[in-house]
Amino acid sequence: MVLDDYFKGNKKGFDTRVLATDISDRVMNAAKQGLYPYERMNKLDPKWIQRYFTKTGDDEYQVKPAIRNEVIFKKFNLMEPIKFKRKFHVIFCRNVMIYFDGQTRAALTNRYYDYLVPGGYLFIGMSESLVNSQTKLEYIKPSIYMRPR
Ligand SMILES: C[S@@+](CC[C@H](N)C(=O)[O-])C[C@H]1O[C@@H](n2cnc3c(N)ncnc32)[C@H](O)[C@@H]1O
């Protein structure tokens, strides 16, 4: 939605797709449906709700196909080596590394570094942080790191 709003429908020449991963089938299936109760959406600009969602129930909205079709869903275990074809401009890994021990977190952060383009960003959860001495990523501000250019 942010990308669509930014490009105003003129995305020609840009790959604006999002790769969405999780280890759980249940979580992946829920994400694919793109269904949200209204209470999860009340911070969204009403214009966006109108533009990007269809009302599907008393208190339920679904993300329109034009946006859902921009998302590629893939089951993936973050413990495994990353083997995607292309590097990423932005990686969001929020509230996931909290489950991993320090060594696993450092190894995963290194893999993220390798899979970011120079100047690409890693966003982590608001309550998370990386250990500076264990990563080549540059701290930008709380929760945001960048692969140096
Ligand atoms: C607390 S939720 C966070 C979800 C979302 N990122 C957010 O911030 O709302 C943690 C998610 O990590 C997933 N997860 C846990 N271990 C994982 C692993 N090894 N590989 C991939 N996903 C994992 C869980 O299935 C769950 O959906």
CATH code of residue 83: 3.40.50.150
Q: Is residue 24 part of a domain?
A: no
Q: Is residue 21 part of a domain?
A: no
Average pLDDT over residues 123-132: 92
What pLDDT sits at residue 9? 78
Pocket probe for ligand 1: among 19, 21, 23, 71, the residue whose CB has the most ligand atoms within 8 Å is 23
The alpha carbon of 52 and the centre of ligand 1 are apart by a number of angstroms equal to: 25
Q: Is residue 135 part of a domain?
A: yes
- With H, G, I as helix, E, B as strand and everything else as coil, classify residue 140: strand
Q: Is residue 149 part of a domain?
A: yes
Q: Is residue 64 part of a domain?
A: no
Nearest atom of ligand 1 to the alpha carbon of 125:
8
pLDDT band at 96 (very low <50, low <70, confident <90, very high): very high
Q: Is 23 in the pocket of ligand 1 (CB under 6 A)?
A: yes
N-terminal to C-terminal alpha carbon distance within the chain: 27
For residue 104, is pLDDT > 90? yes
Q: Which domain holds residue 95?
A: 77-149
What pLDDT sits at residue 132? 84
The alpha carbon of 8 and the centre of ligand 1 are apart by a number of angstroms equal to: 31
Q: Is residue 127 part of a domain?
A: yes
Q: Is 27 in the pocket of ligand 1 (CB under 6 A)?
A: yes
Q: In this prediction, what percent of the chain has a pLDDT beyond 70?
A: 100
Q: Is 88 in the pocket of ligand 1 (CB under 6 A)?
A: no
Nearest CA to ligand 1 atom 12: 96
The distance from CA 41 to its chain's CA centroid, rounded to whole angstroms, is: 17
* Strand order across the 60-63 sheet: 35-37, 60-63, 53-57
If one counts the domains in the chain, the total is 1
Q: Is residue 10 part of a domain?
A: no
Q: Which strand (E) or helix (H) includes residue 57?
A: strand 53-57
Q: Is 30 in the pocket of ligand 1 (CB under 6 A)?
A: no
Q: Is residue 86 part of a domain?
A: yes
What pLDDT sits at residue 131? 87
